[in-house]
Amino acid sequence: MNVDMRERRFLQTFAKLADTLVADYDVVDLLQMLVDSCRDLLGATAAGILLADETGELEVVASTSESSRLVEMMQLGAEAGPCIESYYTGQPVIVADIGASPAEWSRFRDSAIEQGFAAVYALPLRLREQTIGTLNLFQNRAGVMDDDELTAARAFADVATIGILHERSLRESNVIQAQLQNALNSRILIEQAKGVIAHQHSVSVDDAFAVLRGYARTHRRGIAELAADIVDRRISI
Task: Tell me the pLDDT band of 175, cut-offs 50, 70 and 90.
Answer: low
pTM above 0.75, yes or no: no
Domain 174-231 fold: Arc Repressor Mutant, subunit A (1.10.10)
Task: Tell me the pLDDT band of 209, cut-offs 50, 70 and 90.
Answer: confident
pLDDT tens for residues 65-80?
877 777 777 777 667 8
What pLDDT does 222 receive? 86
> Superfamily for 3-172?
GAF domain (3.30.450.40)
For residue 20, pLDDT over 80 is answered with: no
What pLDDT does 186 receive? 83
For residue 23, pLDDT over 60 is answered with: no
pLDDT tens for residues 220-233?
888 888 999 999 99
The percentage of residues in the chain with a pLDDT greater than 90, rounded to a whole number, is 32
Amino acid at 169: S
The full set of domain ranges for the chain reads 3-172, 174-231
What pLDDT does 149 receive? 85
Task: Tell me the pLDDT band of 179, cut-offs 50, 70 and 90.
Answer: low
